[in-house]
Structures are given as C-alpha cells and as structure tokens.
Amino acid sequence: MSAALQAWLQAARLRAQQPPAQPRVPLRVAGHTVGSVAQGLLEEIGLQRLLDKRYQLLKEEHSGAAAWSLQVAPAEASDALNALAAALRDAGRCGPWRDEQLAVCNAAGEVVGTVERGAVRVLGVATRAVHLVGLAPDGRMWVQKRSLTKPNNPGLWDTLMGGMVSAADSLPQALARETWEEAGLRVDDLRPVVHGGQVLFSRPSREGGGVGYMIERIDWFRATVPEGMAPQNQDGEVERFDLLPLDAVCEQVAQDLFTLEASLVIGGFLGW
C-alpha cells in the first residue's frame, strides 16, 4: 500500500468514528432507548402536533440523566415516532423526506417501531445499510457514479450498489432489491455472492441543520458479474457505471472521489 493510501486510510477511519458535534439527550419510546437528539432541539420545535395526537413527549430523568420520552403504548410507537418526524420536518429540522420507513430498535436489537428515513439522523436512530462489491471475471471492479441530484454525496463514486435496509426488508431482501433498482442485476445471476464483512459508522451528520448523528452498520457483499452482463440503473439515482482496474480504484479512493462509506467497504474488500 502506498504512503498516500495509508495516510488516507488512517484519516478515513477517524472520520468514520467521531463523537457528536454537540451534547445529545437520549430518546426513549415506549420504555426503550432508541436514539438521541441534540440538546435543546426539541425545546425549539412546535410539539402541538404531537399533543393533538395525544402523544406525550416529556423530558424526565432516566438512569441518573435527562432523557426525552415518548410515553406511548408499544402498538403506538411507530405512529408517535412519525408524528415527531413530521414535527421536525415542519420546523426545518429534518433530513430529506423519502416516504420510506426504517426500523427503530432498542439496544438489544429488538424492533420497537418504524420511522421516516429522513428523520433517523436527527433522532440518532441506528440504521443498517448494504453494499455490493461487483467484480468482472478478469478482476476489474464495477463502480457507479452517483446521480448529481442525490441529496447525499451527489456525483461521488460508489460501489456497484449501496442502499439502506428498509423496515420491510431482511438483509437478503435489501441486497436483492437494491441490486436490481440501482444496477438492474438479479442477485441469482451473480456467482458467487459472499458476505464480506461489516463497516461501522458513528459520526456527526449535517441533516436538520447540523444536529444529526449517524450510527450505521454496513453489511457488504462481493459477487462476480458474469461476462457479457453489465449494470443498468433502474431508479434514476446513478449517473453511470465504469469498470476499473483495482489500482485505478485505489487511486481514486485516495483522492476522496468515492463516498466514505464506499471507500471503507472497498478497503475491507482489499484487506486494508
């Protein structure tokens, strides 16, 4: 590994693991801690919408420290979380609204409810994502250039596929769905498909005006795209695909031309 790549890798790993930019207060729902919010954030937004829906959001003491608590029955957790997400959006304190639900889990990994994807960073909710490293039979790597209209990292390079695991998907289902939507490829046509590892992120997020915090686990897979088969985007979120030698991929990674997530996935694939 070159000195430039080693220096980049060290800096990238530091960027992937950072403390919050400001103090955060735990967020509890139906008796479970599920995330956190920037100190002072919920005091500044209008919570009448929650009160109108009879959802109580109270600041109380938990384990010796202050915490925000949505005091609802377990069956109402998703509705209450989405009412809070809508209040954040109305106050301009939400990420891009996607009309997509992501799972909200407690510390034990049990699903407590679901919430709009655009609110997860502001609420400090841990998320899951999936990436696919796609190789040609000769060892070159398929990479995608993200659409210039994407809300996050427009125009940067990415793995063959990278996407979120929605509340409706298992990990294999998310892998199959995102591979088709982004690359127009059926997972069953790729051989072999192997789970390669995980990349963990915890870092400040610019969403909601800089009050977000990203906690994410990326599961990445590798597969070979058969000869004569090429990716074709289906959902309009990819500018184009390129097939690059690994040394060219490494060079572009070190130049920060790839997303940080994709860079660290590629690093895992290459054994860095």
38 near 27, Cβ under 8 Å?
no
| 138 CB-near residues (< 8 Å, 6+ apart) | none
Q: 203 with 214: CB under 8 angstroms?
A: yes
What are the chain's domains? 3-17+127-269 (3.90.79.10), 24-119 (3.30.750.160)
Calculate ∠ Cα 116-74-117, nearest 5°.
10
DSSP 172-217: HHHHHHHHHHHH---GGGSS--EEEEEEEEEEEE-HHHHTEEEEEE
Tell me the β-bridge partners of 37: 25
Q: What is the pLDDT of residues 193-225, one digit of tens each?
A: 999 999 999 999 999 999 999 999 999 999 999
Phi and psi dihedrals of 117, rounded to 5?
Answer: -55, -35
Residue 168: both structure tokens together: 């409706």
E strand or H helix that includes residue 117: none
Q: Tens-of-pLDDT digits for all 272 residues of the chain?
A: 677 778 888 899 999 999 999 999 999 999 999 999 999 999 877 666 566 667 888 888 888 889 999 999 999 999 999 999 999 998 999 999 999 999 999 999 999 999 999 999 999 999 999 999 999 999 999 999 999 988 888 999 999 999 999 999 999 999 999 999 999 999 999 989 999 999 999 999 999 999 999 999 999 999 999 999 999 999 999 999 999 999 999 999 999 999 999 999 999 999 98
Phi-psi region for residue 69, left (φ > 0), alpha (ψ -120 to 50) or beta?
Answer: beta
Q: Which residues lie below 8 Å from residue 112, measured CB to CB, with a gap of 6+?
A: 29, 30, 32, 34, 74, 77, 104, 105, 106
C-alpha distances (whole Å) from 179 to each of 74, 137, 232, 262 are 34, 18, 10, 15
| DSSP state at residue 225 | P
Given a contact cutoff of 8 angstroms between Cβ atoms, the answer to whether 36 and 27 are in contact is yes
Residue count of the chain, please give it: 272
